[in-house]
Chain A
Amino acid sequence: MRGNSQWLKFAIAGLVLVSLAACKSSEDAEAQTDEMGSEMGSAGTSTSAAQASGAGTSGRLTQEQIQAENALRQTVFYFDFDVAEFKPEDRETLTFHARDLASNPSKRLRLEGHADERGTREYNLALGERRANSILNYLIVNGASRSQIEVVSYGEERPAMTGQSQSVYNRNRRVEVVAR
């Protein structure tokens, strides 16, 4: 399969890189894990892509594989107030999600859209859907199939946290990626 041979090439290239710069790549991996630590959701799609590629190497992963693994562990995406488009800094992570779906056609996801409590409830229901759709559209454009992704909005009805502070509101404006 095309997918496998590409990963194999990566693995070989990675082996070469790893043997040439062993110390540096492990430092990078640690730094990335720290950065992503606060963003990680609990369940997370996991290491199937990395495992598929990692087999056959010495067990160490390439930088790209580590990036992919970390990206797939991010399952919550936050939004700015009054905004329905995902943040530019999430673009790369979402690309990994799209590629993961593209290489695993049997994989299924659900995008759950949310809003903070301000404003009317029905508008927030629509806003949550718009946020989920903004991620849906990006995933499809980048390789995912429409049939792999379900979209639902909970508006302000299922907050991650309760309260009226900015930090609470920030945590509630989100789209959650749930494996199905």
Chain B
Amino acid sequence: MTLKRLHAFALSFLFLLQISTAHAELSIQITQGIDNPIPIAIVPFSWEGSGVLSEDVAEIVSSDLQQVGEFRALSPSNMLAMPREEREVYYRDWSVLAQDYLLVGKVQRSPGSQLISVQYEFFDINREIKLAGEVLTGTEAQLRDIGHEISNVVFELVTGNRGAFTTQILYVVSDYVSPELSYFRLEKADYDGRRAQVLLESREPIMSPSWSPNGLDIAYVSFETDLPRIYTQNIATGQRRQITNYPNINSSPVWSPDGTKLAMVLSKDGSPDIYVHDLLSNQLTRITDHPAIDTEPAWSRDGRSIVFMSDRTGQPQIYQMEIGASSYEVERLTYDCFQCAKGQFLPDGINLVHVRRETRQSPQYQISIMNTETLRVISLTSTSLDESPSVAPNGSMIMYGTKYNGRGVLDAVSIDGRVKFRLPSSQGDVREPAWSPFLN
């Protein structure tokens, strides 16, 4: 099986454990939908080959659109017809069922090869026109990818926003056995938790996974030397490189938008401060210089300034400063919370996602968004131990770690708080999600 081979491949670079650990299986659960979802009919694609396909492409599209979008898919049992292509489509069959959109398709084996070709066509029922159609070809193992690509097209045509269905996530899994023994894994999976692969296994903690902007490398903190140090790893080859070996805390690696630098937190000079490490020249530049705790850096989109958390006024608040500016030219962004942390801007550069604790008395931590122009704050979650928000590259959803029924789970929420899904793990606690950039 492909997964076993990948597993062994990853292990050959890593620590051998006495007990072989399977990867965590994340299963997606929709926890909240919106009141008036867009009705879409996705007709099961026809399969004109022998044998059974390993993936149901129409089902993948249907799941994608219902999990993250504002869609509801018509149940096939309610369909009046099962067209496979345009000439079989009668718009009345669908307007009578109050459907706004229709997706049909045919799956065939490419003649003379092992490749599968998927033809899809997408229609606007109200305007009675075809909006899109093409043939996508790939191996059977790529059927999931083809399904997600179709979802991207549909999503963008309907919402005007680029789809993120072909993106991936990194996350950390921990299996707690006793105070002296835990197993930690850094894993990568599709955004919906499917096709998980183990990238790193260890008996020491792993923290802060971060994607490079081209999606080829990752950075993270590993305690494998018993001390927190920053590493980068190439996803395809598994090749690792230790980036830091400074005394004390080495943490929070975050790739710059141009992929040449890592922002990080080092406490080698007396207290945690933000630094930038140039990956090409290995030069280290100090950004903040304050005896308080400065941590949790995030880059602005243009790579010219850094958002970070500091408790220099007594409690964590979020600040921003330009790289190259004097360490005194720091702009404070948050005021009304008891603690605000882990701030980063949405792609619009105006809305700030963060973890918010409103009062001293109530230690509840929730993912919130503050509009830095209007200063209006909305809380996105109903859980109270939220952490580690990560924004999808199209800015439409935020994934974060939280606790549910005592277990660490990943939750995702749309930026208006209306749509939610959850990725609990079959085994262990999941945390610290990192949503990939667009990968294709």
Contact = CB atoms under 8 A, between A and B. Distances in A.
Contact of B267 (A82, A123, A129, A158): A129
A106 interface: no
B102 interface: no
B179 interface: yes
A130 interface: yes
B116 interface: no
Contacts of A71: none
Contacts of B360: 82
A3 interface: no
B227 interface: yes
Interface in B201-244: 205, 207-208, 223, 226-228
B295 A123 contact: yes
Contacts of A88: none
A121 B293 contact: no
A141 interface: no
A120 B355 contact: yes
B363 interface: yes
A118 B385 contact: yes
B69 interface: no
A123 B363 contact: no
Contact of B316 (A81, A123, A153): A123
A120 B227 CA distance: 19
B121 to A, nearest CB: 47
A72 interface: no
B364 to A, nearest CB: 9
Interface stretch (B5-13, B163-171, B248-256): B248-256
B111 interface: no
B365 A119 contact: yes
Contacts of B406: 163-164
A121 B387 contact: yes
B124 to A, nearest CB: 45
A143 interface: no
Given A129-B272, A164-B385, A164-B403, A122 B179 contact: no
Interface in A137-180: 151-155, 157-164
Contact of A122 (B182, B226, B251, B403): B251
A126 B295 contact: yes
Interface string A36-80: 000000000000000000000000000000000000000000000
Contacts of B208: 121-122
A125 B179 contact: no
B64 interface: no
Contacts of A100: none
Contacts of A120: 296, 309, 316, 341-342, 355, 365, 387-388
Interface in B312-350: 316, 339, 341-342
A122 B272 CA distance: 10
B357 to A, nearest CB: 7
Contacts of A101: none
A174 to B, nearest CB: 11
Interface string A89-123: 00000000000000000000000000001111111
Interface string B378-417: 0000000101100000000000000100100000000000
A107 B56 CA distance: 65
Contact of A152 (B179, B227, B363): B227
A163 B309 CA distance: 27
A123 B341 contact: yes
Interface in B13-30: none
B385 to A, nearest CB: 7
Instruction: Identify the interface centre among A119, A152, A154, A159: most chain B CB within 10 Å of its CB.
Output: A119
A127 interface: yes
A125 B249 contact: yes
A82 B357 CA distance: 12
A155 B248 CA distance: 12
A33 B205 CA distance: 36
Contacts of A122: 207-208, 251-252, 265, 295-296, 309, 342
A148 to B, nearest CB: 16
B432 interface: yes
A158 B227 contact: no
A123 B223 contact: no
B54 to A, nearest CB: 37
Given A129-B272, A151-B248, A152-B227, A157 B207 contact: yes
A157 B316 contact: no
Instruction: Identify the interface centre among B387, B406, B431: most chain A CB within 10 Å of its CB.
Output: B387
A130 B385 contact: no
B387 A153 contact: no
A128 B293 CA distance: 11
B190 to A, nearest CB: 24
Given A120-B341, A125-B251, A126-B249, 13 more contacts: A121-B208, A122-B252, A123-B295, A125-B249, A125-B295, A127-B293, A129-B248, A152-B227, A154-B223, A157-B207, A163-B406, A164-B403, A164-B406
23 contacts: A82-B360, A118-B363, A119-B316, A119-B355, A119-B357, A119-B387, A120-B341, A120-B342, A121-B388, A121-B431, A122-B208, A122-B252, A122-B296, A123-B295, A123-B311, A123-B341, A125-B249, A125-B295, A126-B272, A127-B293, A152-B228, A154-B205, A158-B182
Interface of A: 81-82, 117-123, 125-127, 129-130, 151-155, 157-164
Shortest beta-carbon contacts, A-B, top 10? A157-B205, A126-B293, A126-B272, A120-B341, A122-B295, A120-B342, A122-B296, A122-B252, A120-B387, A160-B179
